[in-house]
Chains A and B, each alone.
Chain A
Amino acid sequence: MKEGFRQAMAWLHTWAGLIFGWLLFAIFLTGTLAYFKDEITHWMQPEVQAHPLDDGRSLAVAQSYLQQQAPTAASWFITLPNSRDPGLSVMWQDKVEPGKRGTFIQKILDPVSGQPVQARDSKGGEFFYRFHFQLQMPYPWGRWLSTIAAMVMFVALITGIITHKKIFKDFFTFRPRKGQRSWLDGHNAVGVLVLPFHLMITYSSLVIFMSMVMPAPIMASYGDDSRAFFKELFPNTDNAPALGQPGQLLPLLPMYQQAREQWAGGHVGRVAVNNPGDVNASVNVFRAGSDSVVHDFGNTVSFSGTTGELLRVSGEPSLPAVIGGSFYGLHMGHFAGPVLRWLYFICGLAGTAMIGTGLVIWLGKRQLKHAKSAAMPFELRLVEVLNIASMAGLMIAIAAFFWANRLLPVSFAARSDWEVQAFFVAWGLSLLHAMLRRARRGWVEQLSIGALLFMAIPLLNAITTTQHLGVSLLNGDWAMAGFDLTCLASGVFLAWAAWKMQRRTASQPKAERARGLTLKQEAG
């Protein structure tokens, strides 16, 4: 009975893992990249220079710019620069008749000169972040598909734990250079050792889309009016309407300082001003997400814009909000400093590696049975092609995205869309290539192309911008330098993988020939 149960779980693990493995690999890898979303954006918009941080100067600069450009806007949003994202972002919404939503206009300012920076049009790291849960599909299909994938991932984790017979006995075991055995060892090692992260990231992703996946409790209490639910959950942006009389907005800096006092020195992430030109102007100061592990959806201090009077301080969140917020916060990792952020990144890579090794094992086991026949059955060939395109091909696609960022002219129309196109075109080509080439050759060639593309990125950056490694390292621009160095390291890793694969390809025919020889001798 027990063995039957374990076998059933193994079956589920095998097939759930296979069907969703390719998608989960892409979700995990792009999600891992999203931990460095701001740094990637910084690299992809090199026109935005990094300056030493000074919130007072940034606020003053942003306020005077908005006062000039959009005195009658419905609202302003000022996002302050931080150590990860050096740009001072201002956004405003045009005033339109009530009931309609005005268009948003966003500019990035230089926090010292106050002039808008003509940054190239690029989605930057936001692309990976969006892709990892929307999958470039129209709303809400991508979110549904990625949520289903997360559920399957959760099932695969649980069944994997049940299937794994000797978690504690094999805890420290990894035996390299033993073919299938090594793949399984590696799959188990990254699975078990980083299990807390896998469970956290998978479960929290379900919590994040809770209201989409399980809307029944909200519907039961609020009926069809789900807006009422969210209004009650996030009350802090409920501000007084405009009176229609012109008013003078006070400087924002004193309010910023008062808010920080309220939070015992906590940091400010964003400042929003409603009806900036009106008597009834109000200012909401939002706390930075990097201040606490528990994500708080609206930790704000509100002021009257014309009198400077403190209107409201958001209260302590309730216990369920803290629990929900901590899963949200743990998943996003906004609170993580540089070291912890790298650990998050490594954990994400470990998750990606777990999925990748799983896919390789699935195929390897079944290929053994057909090692002697010349042609592989169609379904194995299909899995093989998809393995190559979803792993090596995705790496090429990511590199192509970065290359497109540097090679497309800055004035190109719909430039950021073309960067995304480059990503998908490269991915599609790799699929085509995998179909045309024989398995091992396909792997070796795609890994080599990926290695070349990644290793050349620091060079490309040096040729096309003024911020090559020498400059960024000297200026202490760690986001820029770290990106170049990480690309270089990824390239070296891919080259190593290609070399390993090449060596195995070279040794295999020899072994086969040797076997053929002995058979002939026996026959003779």
Chain B
Amino acid sequence: MLLALLMCYAGFTALCLSTDRHHGELLHQKPSPTRRLGLRLGGWLLLIAAIWPAVLAAGWSQGLVEWCAVLMLSALLLVLLLPYRPRLALILAGLSLLASPVAAFALS
């Protein structure tokens, strides 16, 4: 479930950064169109790809339930962190991307 959580959190952060408003708030500039597209694509890919580790670890039925659960939790966490600790929210996203390969290695 850990890898799925890391991927979902990073995915939602990417989707969040792909909007003008949040990109401006977090990075103090507007995203270029290519960057916006890249973030949006990467975000969606991460969210959907997170199904794979969840299902691999727990089977289809339980895995899908766990994926839904971490999907909701990661979004909730991000939205609660953004107004209070925006830098921490970004750092966490970077850390989850970094830690993902380690978690994937532990899973296989």
Q: Which residues of A come within 8 Å of B, CB atoms?
A: 169, 171-176, 189-190, 193-194, 196-197, 292-294, 326, 330, 335, 339-340, 343-344, 346-347, 350
Encode B13-53 as 1/0 by CB contact (under 8 A) with A: 00110010010000000000000000000000000000000
In contact, A347 and B82 (Cβ under 8 angstroms): no
**A–B Cβ pairs within 8 angstroms, 5 of them:** A176-B83, A189-B79, A335-B65, A343-B70, A350-B76
In contact, A196 and B72 (Cβ under 8 angstroms): yes
B102 on the A face (CB < 8 A): no
Q: Tell me which of B15, B19, B69, B79 contacts A347 (CB under 8 A).
A: B69
In contact, B61 and A193 (Cβ under 8 angstroms): no
Bound complex: CA of A286 vs CA of B22, how far in Å?
53
Q: Tell me which of B15, B16, B76, B82 contacts A193 (CB under 8 A).
A: B76
| Least distance between A98 CB and chain B CB atoms (Å) | 42
Bound complex: CA of A172 vs CA of B39, how far in Å?
15
In contact, A346 and B83 (Cβ under 8 angstroms): no
Encode B77-89 as 1/0 by CB contact (under 8 A) with A: 0111011100000
Bound complex: CA of A88 vs CA of B15, how far in Å?
50
| Least distance between B107 CB and chain A CB atoms (Å) | 15
Q: Which residues of B come within 8 Å of A, CB atoms?
A: 1, 12, 15-16, 19, 22, 61-62, 65-66, 68-73, 75-76, 78-80, 82-84
Question: Which of B12, B16, B22, B80 has most A Cβ within 10 Å?
Answer: B80
In contact, B73 and A346 (Cβ under 8 angstroms): yes
Q: Tell me which of A190, A330, A340, A344 contacts B76 (CB under 8 A).
A: A190
Q: Which residues of A contact B62 (CB under 8 A)?
A: 293, 335
Bound complex: CA of A343 vs CA of B73, how far in Å?
7
Q: Which residues of A contact B78 (CB under 8 A)?
A: 172
In contact, B84 and A172 (Cβ under 8 angstroms): no
In contact, B72 and A172 (Cβ under 8 angstroms): no
In contact, B22 and A340 (Cβ under 8 angstroms): no
Q: Which residues of A contact B70 (CB under 8 A)?
A: 343
A175 and B16 in contact (CB under 8 A), knowing A196-B72, A347-B72, A350-B76? no
Q: Which residues of B contact A169 (CB under 8 A)?
A: 19
Q: Which residues of A contact B68 (CB under 8 A)?
A: 196-197
Q: Which residues of B contact A346 (CB under 8 A)?
A: 73, 76
Bound complex: CA of A199 vs CA of B72, how far in Å?
13
In contact, B72 and A197 (Cβ under 8 angstroms): yes
Q: Which residues of A contact B22 (CB under 8 A)?
A: 172
Question: Which of B12, B68, B84 has most A Cβ within 10 Å?
Answer: B68
* CB closest chain-A residue, reference B74: A193
A172 and B65 in contact (CB under 8 A), knowing A339-B1, A343-B70, A343-B73? no
